Amino acid sequence: MAEKYDSAVKLADGNYWVGYTEAESAFRTNAYIIESGDEVALIDAGSIVYFDSMFKQISKVVDVKKIKYFIQHHQDPDLCSSLPEWEKKIGPQKILAHTKSNILIYHYGVKSELVNVDLEGWELEMPDRKIKFIFMPYMHSPGEIMTYDTKTKVLFSGDIFGGLSFDWALYANEDYFEAMDAFMEHYMPSKEIVNANLKKIENLEISMICPQHGSIIPGDRVKEAIENMKNLDCGSYLYE
Ligand SMILES: [Fe+2]
Ligand SMILES: [Fe+2]
């Protein structure tokens, strides 16, 4: 049985899970919030399909008028299609993504300023913390990024480390790596690309990994999760 949450969950100082758990699906979407002083960044805003429920859930933990940034790890509809709905509620803000993602996010008809993090030093300064963006090209999108909160050491990883499972739990259970393989083997392009990108996070201090699908990986299982992914036959290998 999947867990159900009707409110946001605090993960760390200023970091919240604000996903959606009503739909019975193996393909679950997580969104997250970084609240820092009077600013809020919404990470991977979500699907238009769940917008009303997510809006209510997010409104319970933060003043939505404080949302200044939409951090979008890539351009897929499961994380971007709600952006025009958000703009109707709180007006245009700033969408932070890689240049290669923003040229596609533009086609959702968004009015927000498109900020290309690759041209802005890969960083965002918030009132009480610095946010860093890590380039993970082709995992699975050419402009894929991850977001790292330097204060809490939480790594928001987008599709990377995502999992597929009806038996969903907020924090990864003992079967999670199986769920992770089921998603990653189809969405990641090749072992070479995966391994080259994973080098960028291997020496990073990580308190937890928060993916856009599946479950949160706690700090004591991060090394194991990285090792598991390094050895995964994915993408092009499946069709050999
Ligand atoms: Fe995706
Ligand atoms: Fe996704």
CA 222 / ligand 2 centre spacing (Å): 20
Provide the number of structural domains found in the chain.
1
Tell me, what CATH number does 184's domain have? 3.60.15.10
CA 79 / ligand 1 centre spacing (Å): 8
Task: Look at residue 209 and tell me if it is in a domain.
Answer: yes
Residue 24, pLDDT score:
79
How far is Cα 233 from Cα 115, in angstroms, rounded to an integer?
Answer: 34
Ligand in nearest proximity to the CA of 79: 2
Residue 235, pLDDT score:
86
CA 162 / ligand 1 centre spacing (Å): 10
CA 76 / ligand 2 centre spacing (Å): 7
Query: Is 80 exceeded by the pLDDT of residue 61?
Result: yes
Task: Look at residue 1 and tell me if it is in a domain.
Answer: no
CA 180 / ligand 1 centre spacing (Å): 14
Domain that holds residue 192: 9-239
Task: Look at residue 80 and tell me if it is in a domain.
Answer: yes
CA 66 / ligand 2 centre spacing (Å): 25
Residue 7, pLDDT score:
84
Say which residue, 23 or 141, is predicted with more confidence. 141
Percent share of the chain, pLDDT over 70: 99
Q: Is 11 left (phi over 0), alpha (psi -120 to 50) or beta?
A: alpha
Residue-wise pLDDT tens digits, 183-239: 999 999 999 999 999 999 999 999 999 999 999 999 999 999 999 999 999 887 777
**Residue 116 pairs with which residues in a beta bridge?**
97
Residue 207, pLDDT score:
98
Task: Look at residue 3 and tell me if it is in a domain.
Answer: no
How far is Cα 182 from Cα 169, in angstroms, rounded to an integer?
Answer: 16
CA 152 / ligand 1 centre spacing (Å): 25
Residues with Cβ–ion distance below 5 A, ligand 2 = 78, 159, 212
CA 239 / ligand 1 centre spacing (Å): 20
Q: Is the dihedral of CA 154, 108, 162, 123 positive or negative?
A: negative
Ligand in nearest proximity to the CA of 188: 1
CA 37 / ligand 1 centre spacing (Å): 30
Residue-wise pLDDT tens digits, 144-181: 999 999 999 999 999 999 999 888 999 999 899 999 99
Query: Is 70 exceeded by the pLDDT of residue 95?
Result: yes
How far is Cα 54 from Cα 5, in angstroms, rounded to an integer?
Answer: 11
Task: Look at residue 4 and tell me if it is in a domain.
Answer: no
CA 109 / ligand 1 centre spacing (Å): 19
CA atoms within 13 A on the CB side of 104: 17
Task: Look at residue 104 and tell me if it is in a domain.
Answer: yes
Task: Look at residue 216 and tell me if it is in a domain.
Answer: yes
Task: Look at residue 188 and tell me if it is in a domain.
Answer: yes
Query: Is 70 exceeded by the pLDDT of residue 240?
Result: no
